Structure 1
């Protein structure tokens, strides 16, 4: 499999720790009975928000007095295996790299057997509400992104 943002798939996959469990709902499948191609983006959002909550970022961003907010700048998904109604998945999320005010977030969906079913990546930028310009991460925030060390079972 050739995915442009992944050099060594097994090494990349081994770097995930944090996941969010999801179960495929009937409404998320298409006429052919498999997961609609738009749904992994919803799963990415769910996993990303739980990851950011775990790190303490969401609580800060949701505080009305806080001056910064997160914005997703881009998002992509690569489909590896078909997924069907009622399957239980784990959607893994990690910060692959952290820039000045952006973070490259990677995702991996696995089925109950641990098989990779989809993967993806996206850039999220922290920006100020007042100017709409990027707000740099602190060293503490960068460290939190790169060392979350936790798994959750929803």
Structure 2
């Protein structure tokens, strides 16, 4: 297993500390009980938002008077093992690199045996609600992301 964004799998895997758990619902599977290939993207969204809540970034973004919001610029998933109905997965999230207004987020999903079942990455860009243009991270926001980069 090797996705282009993973240079050293062991080091990359050790870099994750935050995760959230999901259970594969029946509606997320095909007639053979396999997880539909679009569902990991919703798991990534769920885990990413839980991560942002934990690092206290969602408060500002959800504030109706707030001036900035995060948007997904790109997102990819690399499938490693089959996933089936009713499996429990840990969806790990970490910041991999931070730009002036963007952050590259990495994802790793493991089953209860500890096997990596899929991985992913995606860029999140913070934009100004009024202009629709990218908005720079504050130093405090950058520090939040830097803490999870190894």
Question: TM-score w.r.t. structure 1 length?
Answer: 0.94
Indicate if the aligned counterparts of 2:95 and 2:148 stay in contact, CA closer than 8 A.
no
Q: For residues 86-97 of structure 1, what are the structure 2 equivalents within 5 Å?
A: 86-97=86-97
Unaligned runs of 5+ in 1: 150-154
1:148 to partner: Cα distance? 5.0
Query: Which runs of at least 4 in structure 1 moved beyond 3 Å after TM superposition?
Result: none
Q: Corresponding residue for 2:103?
A: 103
1:12 counterpart = 2:12: yes
1:10 to partner: Cα distance? 1.1
Task: Tell me, in whole angstroms, the C-alpha distance in 1 between the residues paired with 2:64 and 2:88.
Answer: 36
Task: Tell me, in whole angstroms, the C-alpha distance in 1 between the residues paired with 2:20 and 2:148.
Answer: 14
Task: Tell me, in whole angstroms, the C-alpha distance in 2 between the residues paired with 1:48 and 1:117.
Answer: 18
Please give the secondary structure, in 1, of the residue aligned with 2:22. Answer: strand
Write out per-residue CA displacement over residues 3-37 of structure 1, whole angstroms, 9 at most, x where no aligned residue.
11111111101100000100111111112211000
Q: Corresponding residue for 1:34?
A: 34
Question: TM-score w.r.t. structure 2 length?
Answer: 0.96
Root-mean-square deviation over aligned CA pairs: 1.2
Paired residues in the alignment total 149
Indicate if the aligned counterparts of 1:52 and 1:58 stay in contact, CA closer than 8 A.
yes
Q: For residues 72-91 of structure 1, what are the structure 2 equivalents within 5 Å?
A: 72-91=72-91
